[in-house]
Amino acid sequence: MLRTFRVFRVARLLRALKSMQTIMAVIARSYKSFIYITVLMFLFVIIFSLLGMSLFGGTFNFVEGKPRGNYDSFSIAFVTISRYSQWKTGRVYFSTQ
């Protein structure tokens, strides 16, 4: 039971370091900016999903069937745009499916 209080030792150590206090203050001040950037990126993904649906909706009808990344519904278009943005930035994780 008392071992759980050992976590507070780290908090006490962080409080003692002046440079760590400065870093934590900067992070606390800038979290609103991160929220705004995240909302803006989410808005762009929604806009490009809707644009993809209007341009490519119903056009991926191949003999083998529809690919997983199509633009026929908003949810699949959203996932397709999200996966493409991860691939574009180099953070894609290949699956075995």
b/e map of 52-80 (b: 16 or more CB within 10 Å)? bbeeeeeeeeeeeeeeeebbeeeebbbeb
In a domain, 84, yes or no: yes
Q: Is the pLDDT of residue 42 over 80?
A: yes
6: which 2 tokens?
A: 């050992």
Q: What is the mean pLDDT of residues 51-68?
A: 80
In a domain, 97, yes or no: no
In a domain, 30, yes or no: yes
Q: Is the pLDDT of residue 19 over 60?
A: yes
Residue 43 — very low, low, confident or very high, per pLDDT cuts 50/70/90? very high
Whether 49 contacts 78, CB under 8 Å: yes
Q: Residues with Cβ < 8 Å from 56, sequence gap 6 or more?
A: 70, 71
Decide which of 45 and 82 is more confident: 45
Domains: count for the chain: 1
User: Length of the chain, please?
Assistant: 97
Q: What is the mean pLDDT of residues 72-94?
A: 71
Look at residue 91 in the predicted model and tell me its pLDDT: 53
Q: Is the pLDDT of residue 50 over 60?
A: yes
User: pTM for the complete prediction?
Assistant: 0.58
- Phi, psi (rounded to 5 degrees) for 42: -65, -40
Q: Residues with Cβ < 8 Å from 69, sequence gap 6 or more?
A: 76, 79, 80, 83, 84
The domain containing residue 44 runs over which residues? 2-89
Look at residue 6 in the predicted model and tell me its pLDDT: 75
In a domain, 38, yes or no: yes
